[in-house]
C-alpha cells in the first residue's frame, strides 16, 4: 500500500464566501478523494474553548485544554459531519458568531500548532482535498496542486447571505459584509500562518463563475498536474 504522505493533495485557500467548501467537497467527490474542511477544525476548537469559558488570550489554559480534545470527521465528503469528544457539532459550528470566534482563536500560534498534526493526518490515499487559509502555504506546502479562490467582497457577502438565509438564520447583508471584511482582514494580517496566495498557487476569480464551472476548472487542473507527474 502507498505510504500515507505519498497521497496527492489539492490545497484550496481563499477568504470566506468564495465557495471553497462547496467546490472542495464536489471536487473530492468527483475524484473520490478525502476532504478536509480546516475551517471546521478551527470552528470546533473555538466552540469548545468558548463553551468552557477559556478566552483566546489565555494561552496556558488553551494549551492544556487542547490536550483533551478528540475531533473526528465523517469519511463521506458529501455528508461532512464533525464530532468532538463524542458531541456532534456539525450544525452548531456554522453560525457567524462561531466563524468570528474561530478567526480569533486561529490567530493564536499555539492553537495553530496543536491543530497542525490533526490536519496533516487527513492526508491519505487515494488523495486529499484540503480547504482553508494556509493549506498551500503551511499545512501542505508540498501539495501537488494549489488553488487560491477569490471573488469580489460584494459577491462573497451575497453568497454567504444566501447560504445563511437558506439555513434559516436572520442576517443583514450590510452587517454581514462588514463582519466578513473584518474577519478577512484579521485572517490575512495575523503573524501566524496568515491567509496568503502561495507562490505556486493558481488564482481563480469565481465572481462570475458558476459552482459547476469552478469545479470543472479545478478538476482539470488536478488531472493535468497528476498526468504531468506520472
- What is the contact surface with ligand DC in residues (CB under 6 A)? 16, 38-39, 42-43, 99, 102-103, 106, 132-134, 183, 187
| 18 vs 215, beta carbon nearer ligand DC | 18
In this structure, the number of other CB atoms found within 10 A of the CB of residue 32 comes to: 9
| 61 vs 186, beta carbon nearer ligand DC | 186
Q: Give the residue closest to ligand DC by C-beta.
A: 39
Do you find a cis peptide bond into 126, omega within 30 degrees of 0?
A: yes
| 109 vs 126, beta carbon nearer ligand DC | 109
Task: Decide if 145 contacts 11 (C-beta within 8 A).
Answer: yes
Minimum CB distance to ligand DC, residue 137 (Å): 9
Minimum CB distance to ligand DC, residue 23 (Å): 12
| 106 vs 218, beta carbon nearer ligand DC | 106
Minimum CB distance to ligand DC, residue 180 (Å): 9
Query: Measured between alpha carbons, how far is 172 from 78 in angstroms, rounded to an integer?
Result: 29
| SS3 at position 41 | helix
Minimum CB distance to ligand DC, residue 136 (Å): 10
Those residues with Cβ within 8 angstroms of residue 41's Cβ, 6 or more apart along the chain or in another chain: 71, 82, 115, 118, 119
Name residue, grid cell 482563536: 105
Amino acid at each position: 500500500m502507498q505510504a500515507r504522505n505519498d497521497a496527492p493533495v489539492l490545497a484550496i485557500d481563499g477568504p470566506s464566501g468564495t465557495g471553497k467548501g462547496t467546490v472542495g467537497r464536489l471536487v473530492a467527490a468527483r475524484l473520490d478523494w478525502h476532504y478536509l474542511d480546516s475551517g471546521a477544525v478551527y470552528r470546533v476548537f473555538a466552540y469548545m474553548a468558548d463553551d468552557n469559558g477559556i478566552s483566546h488570550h489565555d494561552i496556558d489554559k488553551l494549551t492544556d485544554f487542547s490536550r483533551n480534545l478528540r475531533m473526528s470527521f465523517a469519511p463521506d465528503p458529501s455528508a461532512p459531519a464533525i464530532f468532538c469528544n463524542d458531541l456532534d457539532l456539525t450544525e452548531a459550528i456554522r453560525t457567524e458568531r462561531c466563524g468570528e470566534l474561530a478567526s480569533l482563536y486561529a490567530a493564536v500560534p499555539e492553537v495553530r500548532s496543536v491543530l497542525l498534526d490533526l490536519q496533516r493526518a487527513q492526508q491519505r490515499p487515494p488523495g486529499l482535498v484540503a480547504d482553508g487559509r494556509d493549506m498551500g502555504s503551511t499545512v501542505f506546502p508540498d501539495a501537488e496542486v494549489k488553488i487560491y479562490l477569490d471573488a469580489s467582497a460584494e459577491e462573497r457577502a451575497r453568497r454567504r447571505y444566501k447560504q445563511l438565509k437558506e439555513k434559516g438564520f436572520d442576517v443583514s447583508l450590510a452587517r454581514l459584509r462588514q463582519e466578513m471584511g473584518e474577519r478577512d482582514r484579521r485572517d490575512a494580517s495575523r503573524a501566524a500562518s496568515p491567509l496568503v496566495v502561495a507562490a505556486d498557487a493558481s488564482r481563480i476569480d469565481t465572481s462570475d463563475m458558476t459552482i459547476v464551472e469552478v469545479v470543472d476548472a479545478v478538476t482539470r487542473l488536478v488531472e493535468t498536474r497528476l498526468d504531468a507527474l506520472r
